Amino acid sequence: MYLIVMGKTLPKRPPSLGEMIRKIAELGGYLGRKSDGPPGPKTLWIGLQRMKDFALAWTVFNSGGGRAKDV
CA 40 to chain centre: 15
Per-residue model confidence (pLDDT) at position 55: 86
pLDDT in tens, 31-52: 999 999 999 999 999 999 999 9
Quick one: angle between helices 41-63 and 17-27, nearest 10? Answer: 90
Longest CA–CA separation in the chain, Å:
46
Quote the strand ranges of the chain, DSSP E. none
Q: pTM for the complete prediction? A: 0.75
- Report how many helices (DSSP H) and strands (DSSP E) the chain contains, helices first: 3, 0
Per-residue model confidence (pLDDT) at position 66: 58
Q: What is the mean pLDDT of the chain?
A: 86
